[in-house]
Chain A
Amino acid sequence: MSSYNNNSVRLNAATKVAVFGGTHGNEMSGVTLVNLWMKNSNEIQRKGVETKPFITNPKAVEKCTRYVDTDLNRAFTAENLSAPGGESLPYEVWRAQEINNMFGPKGSPEAYDVIFDLHNTTSNMGCTLILESSKDHFNLQMMNYIKKALAPASCLVLLNEHPLLKYSTSRSVAKHPVGLEVGPQPQGVLRSNIFDSMRVIIKHALDFIELFNEDVEFPPCTVEVFRVLERVDYPRDANGNIIAMVHPNLQDCDWEPLNPGDPMFQTFDGKTIHYQGPGTVYPTFINEAAYYEKQQAFVTTKRETLVASAVKKS
């Protein structure tokens, strides 16, 4: 599961960096922070790199809704990015093409080096960094740096490399996409503590980039990650209606072990449904509001230790 490379990974300086907010228009920490930084970006500037704050889904932000036509954070597929139709396309598909032109093109040498995409969740996930590739040594080193800077406060890493469950995020146009997910926070609500946490994570992330650009070498390190295994839906009846809720023993227990036989759901008339998987898993995104329509009550993960190669500017 871990990759080890004796040689240091050499990369170009990270000079094109962006911070996205409002990819989901009702996730308020990101919307608020990016709006603040668009007025005054001093806080996010570092020597040698200009960080661009950007509201990705302004129509959704205006209506304080997750999306207008379709989820922007699922819209960056190759098919969508090359679809003809311009403004007659669903709003978020058209917007994805615009974002790809400004910050990509995805997969090309001109694409932005790093994009941070700010999200909130109704789940009790605390501070979470989302990684899309286990071989992105730059991101692994940055996440290691952030975790150490925040300690003893917790900041966990979720790795979504699953061939079927991985999705095409707004940040995926960059060479090094980083998702920030902080919860719990209701949609449409701004909580001070959650806002402050997200702000501090970005501060440390940009500090890392500045150090990297100043030729600091980050030695090999290990990073504990939670790798996405599968999506678990709510029990439903023949008509597709939800017939049970996340069990009180599982509610708010993101990242804690779920063992075979443990309570998982509670029907509306009080019966318990137990987890029947083959082994212990670590659930997360437990009871995220936006995932009811995506048939997801939670995702299961397994713990893994990745080894990051040394990383230095070339």
Chain B
Amino acid sequence: MPANVFLGACLPKLSRVAVCGGTHGNELSGVYLIKELMKRRREADDEEQPILVLSNPRAAQQCLRYIEVDLNRCFSHDALNAPLSDSAPYEVIRSREINAVLGPKGSADSVDFICDLHNTTANMGLCFISCSDSDWISLHIFKYLQLCIPDIPMRYLHFDLSHDEAYSLDSVGKHGFAMEVGPQPHGVVRSNVYTTMKTALELVLHWIRLFNCGTVFEGGPVDVFTLVKHVDYPRDCSTHDIVAAIHPLLQDKDFCLLNPGDPVFQTFSGETITYNGSESLYPFFINECAYYEKGIAFSLSRKSRVNVPSLRANRDQSR
């Protein structure tokens, strides 16, 4: 075997990179971080800087998750290509604007990479959320962050959707993920959460610069949590009102293995409801405020090990 044969993956450079915040207007780390980056951009004329987007400015202005519909559900291929009516909701119109600037999704003109900034009321630490478990760019960035900031609990979450089916803003680019940091109440900026997100974002952009300069990143295993199902609150049959809260023993236990028979809910009369699934799974988005209306008390995932190959940028720039 001749020396200098690279056995890993080669991918094109990431020339166009975007960072989005305020996709949900009350998730304030991203709102403030984007505003801060935009302010510093005006003060220092830097080349090769990412495109910065305040995704939902009206919602950010009113400190709401959204005005009419959830912006972060508007980016599937079908949603982006459906005919646009005159009375289309604000966020649908906004999603087309964003797709025009950062996309079009699925085309050669779409940006190479998107990082979309989010917060959650759940105790999830730092999470990357991606629709792929084989996007080597995203997985290597995750590995890099684990190496650089080992004290911050972080996980890689995978929602198994095709690129076309993926509905979140980060799916507009060729590569990307949502970066979720919690716990933080909506409408609040916690300094520790802001600092974690800022540090993580700086490392993401640093990795991209290293990648584009030809650095070879050694492969290795990465644990990935793949969504299996959502679990709703127990509800009253007629009124549909919630009749129990997340059990105190499950509250804040994101990514702690949930076994059949473990307590999951506590009714308002004090009874415990246990998990009646047959498989031990990892819960996350436990008691995320925004999910009450989506019928989700918590979600469950399966952990698997992905072997990420070594990676470097294509030396030949023609794609």
B251: Cβ under 8 A from any A Cβ: yes
CA distance A251 to B289 in the complex (A): 21
Q: How far does the Cβ of A22 sit from chain B's closest Cβ, in whole Å?
A: 14
Interface residue stretch chosen among A86-94, A111-119, A143-151, A183-191: A183-191
- Of all chain B residues, the one with the shortest Cβ separation from A184 is B185
Give the complex CA separation of A187 and B293 in angstroms: 14
For the complex, what is the distance from the CA of A221 to the CA of B86, rounded to whole Å? 68
Find out whether the CB atom of A289 lies under 8 angstroms from the CB atom of B190: no
Chain B neighbourhood of A35, CB < 8 A: 241
Q: A35-B241, A193-B251 are in contact. Are A187 and B190 (CB under 8 A)?
A: no
A139 at the interface (CB under 8 A from B): no
CA distance A245 to B33 in the complex (A): 12
0 or 1 for each of A179-199: is its CB under 8 Å from B? (1 = yes):
000001111111111010000
Please give, as numbers and ranges, the residues of chain A lying within 8 Å of B266 by CB-CB distance.
Answer: 192
Contacts of B185 in A (CB 8 A): 122, 184-187, 189, 289
The proximity string for B residues 124-140 relative to A, scoring 1 for CB distances below 8 Å and 0 otherwise, is 00000000000000000
- Bound-complex Cα distance A47 to B245 (A): 31
B108: A residues at CB distance < 8 A: none
Q: Which residues of B sit under 8 angstroms from A127, Cβ to Cβ?
A: none
Q: A186-B185, A192-B246, A269-B36 are contacts. A251–B192 as well, Cβ < 8 Å?
A: yes
The minimal Cβ–Cβ distance linking B198 to chain A, given in whole angstroms, is 8
List the A side residues contacting B251 at CB < 8 Å: 191-193
Say which residue of A186, A195, A268 sits within 8 Å of B194 (CB atoms).
A268
Name the one of B36, B184, B268, B289 contacting A36, with C-beta atoms under 8 angstroms.
B268
Interface string of A239-269 (1 = CB under 8 A from B): 0011001111001000000000000001011
Question: B268 contacts A32, CB within 8 Å?
Answer: yes
- Is B121 at the interface (CB under 8 A from chain A)? yes
Known interface pairs A189-B287, A266-B191; A195-B186 also in contact (CB < 8 Å): no
B248 at the interface (CB under 8 A from A): yes
**B234 interface residue, CB < 8 Å from A?**
no
The distance in angstroms between the C-alpha atoms of A241 and B251, with both chains bound, is: 34
Contacts of B188 in A (CB 8 A): 122, 186, 287, 289
- The residue among B184, B186, B268, B290 with the most chain A CB atoms within 10 A of its own CB is B268
- Nearest-neighbour CB distance to chain B for A268, whole angstroms, equals 5
Which chain A residues lie closer than 8 Å to B241 at the CB level?
Answer: 35
Q: Does A290 contact B (CB under 8 A)?
A: yes
Distance A141 CA – B63 CA, assembled complex (angstroms)? 41
Give chain B nearest CB distance to A271 CB in angstroms. 12
Residues of B within 8 A of A64 (CB): 292-293
A191 B245 Cβ-Cβ under 8 A:
yes
Distance A290 CA – B241 CA, assembled complex (angstroms) = 26
Docked complex Cα distance between A10 and B63 (Å): 49
Residues from 232 to 246 in B contacting A, C-beta threshold 8 Å? 241-242, 245-246
- Tell me the dominant secondary structure on chain A's binding face: loop
Instruction: Identify which of residues 245-281 in chain B touch chain A, using a CB-to-CB cut-off of 8 Å.
Output: 245-248, 251, 266, 268
CA distance A292 to B62 in the complex (A): 12
Residues of chain B within 8 A of A268, CB atoms compared: 32-33, 36, 194
> Which of B186, B246, B287 makes the CB contact (< 8 A) with A289?
B186
What CA separation (Å) do A147 and B207 show in the bound complex?
Answer: 54
Distance between B241 CB and nearest chain A CB, rounded to angstroms = 7
Q: C-beta contact mask, B210-247 vs A, less than 8 Å → 1, else 0?
A: 00000000000000000000000000000001100111
* CB nearest to A36 among chain B residues: B268
Distance of A32 Cα from B187 Cα, bound (Å): 22
Q: Which of B60-74 contact A (CB under 8 A)?
A: 63
Q: B14: CB under 8 A from chain A?
A: no
| Docked pose: A122 CA to B162 CA in angstroms | 38
Determine whether the beta carbon of B187 is less than 8 Å from that of A292. Answer: yes
Q: Is the CB of B186 within 8 A of A248?
A: no
Among B184, B186, B189, the one with the most A-chain Cβ atoms within 10 Å of its Cβ is B189
Residue of A nearest to B290 (CB): A188
A248 touches B192 (CB 8 A): yes
How far is it, in angstroms, between the C-alpha of A306 and the C-alpha of B33 when the chains are bound? 46
Taken residue by residue from 274 to 314, chain A's Cβ proximity to chain B (1 for < 8 Å, 0 otherwise) reads as: 00000000000001011011000000000000000000000
Tell me whether A189 and B191 are in contact (CB under 8 A): no
Contacting residues, chain A, for B287 (C-beta < 8 A): 189-191
User: Which residues of the partner chain A approach B191 to less than 8 Å between Cβ atoms?
Assistant: 245-248, 251, 266
Residues of A194-225 whose CB lies within 8 A of B: 195
Q: What's the Cα separation between A266 and B189 when bound, in Å?
A: 11
For A16-49 the 0/1 string (1 means CB < 8 A from B) is: 0000000000000000100110000000000000
Bound-state CA distance A35–B290 (Å) is 21
Residues of A within 8 A of B292 (CB): 64, 188
Interface pair B245/A245, CB less than 8 Å apart: no
> Residue-by-residue, is A57-72 near B (CB-CB < 8 Å gives 1, otherwise 0)?
0000000100000000
- Known interface pairs A122-B185, A195-B245; 12 further A-B residue pairs with C-beta atoms within 8 A, sorted by A's residue number: A64-B293, A122-B187, A186-B188, A189-B121, A189-B287, A245-B190, A246-B190, A248-B192, A251-B192, A287-B189, A289-B187, A290-B187
Q: Which residues of B contact A (CB under 8 A)?
A: 32-33, 35-36, 63, 121, 183-192, 194-195, 241-242, 245-248, 251, 266, 268, 287, 289-290, 292-293
24 contacts between A and B (CB under 8 A): A32-B245, A35-B241, A64-B292, A122-B185, A184-B185, A186-B186, A188-B292, A190-B242, A190-B287, A191-B251, A192-B246, A192-B248, A192-B251, A195-B245, A245-B32, A245-B191, A246-B190, A251-B191, A251-B192, A266-B191, A268-B194, A269-B36, A289-B186, A289-B188
Closest 9 A/B residue pairs (Cβ): A186-B185, A289-B187, A188-B289, A122-B185, A186-B121, A245-B191, A192-B245, A268-B36, A189-B289
